Structures are given as structure tokens and as C-alpha cells.
Amino acid sequence: MEKYRLALIGPGHLNGIVAQAYQDGLLPEFELVGVLGRSDERTRTFAEHFNCQACATIEELMALKPDFTSEAASPQAVRDYSEHVLRSGSNLVVVTAGAFADADLYQSVQQTARETGKRVYIASGAVGGFDVLRTAALMSPIKATMTSKKSIRSLFYSPLFKSHYPFITEPERAFTGSTTEAIQQLPFHYNVAVATALASAGPDQTTLNIDVVPDFVGDDYKIEIEGDEIKTELNIYSRTPRIAGWSIVAALQNAVAPIVF
């Protein structure tokens, strides 16, 4: 059986999970062909470990003729590479969905996918239940709210940090606003919020609350959806960011599966 060629954008921890899953036989329909990264040394080390080609430019990566490209790098990588990947004949799996809070970028990538006949798969990251969210949004207008618990340390270098946070003993709300407003302040923290918003009411219409919690470890998300005919609540806790890498593996499996859940 001819295998789908898989390329990776980003030689970091998350795509490392994807590459390891491939080596462990969890992606038997795929052949890992190359990886692109900003650091030559890190990219070469990754490529040598996982037996694929290290690439310095997106043109070099696309020259490998991938059928699927997994992005796990940054919002800027999504902006810079998405349309090039699609026009090169590759489907794209995106985990840094925060870039799509930019409505113009989202519409442009969507149009390019239509023109090329390729697909963009948004990996669920640390959340889930996209099927329920999309179904609810189709049934009637909905109100969508996501509440996130974050550690004091995770906000330390962000605009949301306040000097008294290291001394709090009870949870305190650090932010409330639209998902679009949140991602502008925390572009690397709320990819999951944008992915959830895109699957439900949209980034401008989805409210995001961020609570800073003393001694908290991990990521905790509560998603509330309410419409005329449906009301649902999803609670997801992840002790580590590894779930985001595994969500890419799940997206790749679903993309080529004969039965999709």
C-alpha cells in the first residue's frame, strides 16, 4: 500500500510526539519525510533521531511532496506557511489555531483550501468535543463561554500578570473578554480557545474568562454552550501540554481513516 507522505513544521516537543507515534507504529498509513525548523542544529538533531530530512526553508520541505503537513510551531508559522503548503499540494494540520483569530487570515486560508482542493485540519489541542460544539451551532444561535484556570507562573511574562498574584490564596479573575481580545495579548497560550471558538460561536462572539489559581498545575478548561434547543458543558483537565501533540496524531489518524469518529 502506498503511504501518505508526512512533513512537520516545528522540531519541538509536540511534533516530537507525532514523530514518536509514527516510529511506534501508530501512524501506519504515513511515511515521515521531513521537518522544518528555525534552528539548524535542533532541526538536524530531530531529523537524525527520527530518520527524516532536515529542511531550512518551506520550499525545501514542500519539495519532498508531502500529502500532509503538521504545524506545531507558532502563529507566525501559520501565517507564513499555510497557503504555501496548500498550494504545494499538501493538506495541513494546525495546532497553533490562535493565528486564525485573524479573520482575514482565516478567510484567505479557507479560500486557498477550496481552490486547491486541500483541507486544513485544526487539531483540538487541550480541549475536545468539537463535534458537539459544531452541531449545537448549526441548530440555533448559541452563547459560548470558556473559563480557563492558569497557574501564576504561566502568566508571569504576560500583560495579564499583576504584582500581587504571587501572594494570592484564592483564585482571581485575570481576564474576561472575547477570544479575539485574549489571543492578541496571549498569542501562545490560547490556541485552544480560538479552536473552540471557531467550532462554535466564532472568536468575536465567544467569551473567555481566565482565572489565576495559586498552586495550580496544568491546564483546565470549562466550555459552556447554550442555545434554543441545547445546553452543554465540557470540562477538560490536562496535567501537561502533551495532549496537544497527541491531538495532532488523532487528527492525522482521522484524516485517513475509513471510519471517522
Burial degree of 225 (CB within 10 A; 0-12, 13-18, 19+): buried
Interatomic CA distance for residues 133 and 236, integer angstroms: 14
Instruction: Burial-class residue 172 by CB neighbours within 10 Å (0-12, 13-18, 19+).
Output: middle
Cβ pair 142, 224 in contact under 8 A: no
Bind-site residues: 126, 191
Contact 131, 225 (CB under 8 A): no
200 in Cβ contact with 106 (< 8 Å): no
107: exposed, middle or buried (Cβ count in 10 Å: 0-12, 13-18, 19+): exposed
- Residues making up the annotated binding site for NAD(+) are 126, 191
Residue with cell 531529523: 47
Within 10 Å of residue 150's Cβ, how many Cβ atoms? Answer: 23
The total of other beta-carbon atoms located within 10 Å of residue 46's CB is 21
CA of residue 121 relative to chain centroid, distance: 9
